[in-house]
């Protein structure tokens, strides 16, 4: 439940911040008459995201087992790619998000009502579709009934409350630092989703090595134990992964975290040598 709570919180907070920035800017600039188109775009984005999640959930149940595994594995890989891109993008632009949205909103106001609807729809819709896909993939990975959905719903509810507090000015935190820490945790969660997606593709027959186990500690950490369930729910931990699963998990997690924290290509510049004084 915690892993999906984190997903709902972080993704929902991004959408909440976008909505708050758009609304606050219109209110402060005396353009309250432009709020209905913004809310219309937000409502359409939320409806599309919910419909997308419903199609993923109920459409996949009509497929054969192999097709379900192939679909689940493919969408898990896509979800990890989208979330990884989003995590890096948000860390890079968190400090300048308000200015960027203000510029887009000014252009939309000048173009008219339809442009406002489209701007708010795109701003929220992207987050909503990413959230729906990643939560669906995480739910399939944990296979823990309704608990992952409850966790995600609680995370989204918390994000809405935090967004309202941001709008009211009652809460001020360092967003860059917040997105850095939650982004790192999401990378860990995404690594587990990716490993589970690989297992799905192995069960679908798309990838080899289904019965080649890297290790098996099921007797030490049973899947049905409370700590086994906790590890699976938070990190998508599997006590008997295949060699390919473990390889992909490590190949994604280590370089992604290293790049996220700037260990590659962001070394501080060497101080310049002092100029030699002329006689």
Could you tell me which of 88, 65, 77 has the C-alpha nearest to residue 141? 77
Q: Tell me the mean pLDDT in the region 246-271.
A: 76
- Residue 80 and residue 252 in contact, taking contact as beta carbons nearer than 8 Å: yes
Q: Per-residue pLDDT for 173 more than 80?
A: no
222: left (phi over 0), alpha (psi -120 to 50) or beta: beta
Give the pLDDT score at 206.
92
pLDDT digits (tens, 9 = 90+) for 119-163: 778 778 877 787 788 777 777 766 655 666 787 788 888 888 888
User: What is the C-alpha separation between 240 and 231, in angstroms, rounded?
Assistant: 13
**How many other β-carbons are positioned within 10 Å of the β-carbon of residue 65?**
9
DSSP characters over 158-192 = HHHHHHHHHHHT-----HHHHHHHHHHHHHHHHHH
- C-beta of residue 230 within 8 angstroms of C-beta of residue 249: no
Higher-confidence residue of 28 and 35: namely 35
Count Cβ atoms below 10 Å from residue 119 Cβ, excluding itself.
Answer: 21
Residues 6 or more apart whose CB falls under 8 angstroms from that of 250 comprise none
Determine what percent of the chain is predicted with pLDDT higher than 70: 76
CB 177 within 8 A of CB 261: no
pLDDT the model gives residue 271: 45
Cβ-contact 202, 244 below 8 angstroms: yes
What is residue 33's predicted lDDT score, i.e. its pLDDT?
81
Considering only residues 141 and 273, tell me which one the structure prediction assigns the higher pLDDT. 141
Q: How far apart are CA 159 and CA 88, in angstroms?
A: 20
First-to-last CA distance in the chain? 72
Q: Return the top range by mean pLDDT from 7-21, 41-55, 159-173, 195-209.
A: 195-209
Name every residue whose Cβ is closer than 8 Å to that of residue 238 and which is 6 or more positions away in sequence: 195, 196, 199, 232, 245
- 16-30, 125-139, 188-202, 257-271: range with highest mean pLDDT: 188-202
What pLDDT does residue 202 have? 93
pLDDT of 184-208, one tens digit each?
Answer: 877 887 888 889 889 989 999 999 9
Q: Name the average pLDDT for the chain.
A: 77
Per-residue pLDDT tens digits for 87-96: 787 777 666 6
| Whole-angstrom distance, CA of residue 47 vs CA of residue 195 | 30
Angle at 87 between CA 86 and CA 88, to 5 degrees: 90
For residue range 64-98, what is the model confidence (pLDDT) as tens digits? Answer: 878 888 888 888 888 888 778 877 877 776 666 66
What is the model's pLDDT at position 245?
A: 94
Q: b/e for 188-211, b at 16 or more Cβ within 10 A?
A: bbbbbbbbbbbbbbbbbeebeeee
Q: What is the Cα–Cα distance from 258 to 235, expressed in whole angstroms?
A: 18
- The helix/strand count (H/E) of the chain reads as 9, 0
């Amino acid at each position: 439940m915690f892993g999906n709570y984190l997903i709902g919180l972080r993704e929902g907070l991004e959408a909440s911040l976008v909505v708050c920035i758009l609304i606050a800017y219109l209110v402060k600039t005396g353009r309250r008459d432009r709020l209905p188109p913004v809310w219309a775009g937000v409502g359409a984005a939320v409806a599309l995201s919910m419909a997308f999640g419903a199609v993923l959930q109920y459409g996949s149940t009509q497929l054969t087992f192999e097709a379900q595994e192939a679909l689940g594995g493919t969408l898990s890989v896509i979800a990890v790619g989208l979330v990884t891109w989003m995590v890096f993008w948000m860390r890079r632009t968190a400090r300048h998000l308000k200015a960027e949205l203000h510029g887009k909103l000014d252009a939309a106001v000048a173009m008219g009502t339809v442009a406002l609807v489209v701007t708010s729809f795109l701003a929220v819709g992207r987050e909503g579709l990413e959230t729906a896909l990643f939560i669906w993939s995480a739910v399939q990975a944990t296979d823990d009934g309704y608990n992952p959905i409850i966790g995600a719903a609680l995370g989204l509810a918390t994000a809405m409350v935090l967004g309202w507090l941001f709008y009211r000015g009652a809460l001020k935190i360092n967003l860059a630092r917040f997105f850095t820490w939650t982004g790192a945790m999401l990378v860990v969660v995404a690594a587990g989703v990716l490993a589970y997606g690989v297992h799905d593709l192995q069960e679908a027959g798309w990838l080899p090595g289904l019965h080649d186990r890297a290790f098996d500690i099921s007797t030490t950490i049973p899947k049905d134990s409370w700590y086994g369930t906790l590890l699976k729910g938070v990190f998508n931990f599997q006590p008997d992964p295949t060699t390919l699963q473990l390889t992909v998990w490590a190949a994604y997690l280590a370089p992604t975290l290293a790049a996220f924290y700037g260990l590659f290509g962001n070394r501080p510049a060497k101080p310049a040598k002092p100029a030699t004084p002329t006689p």
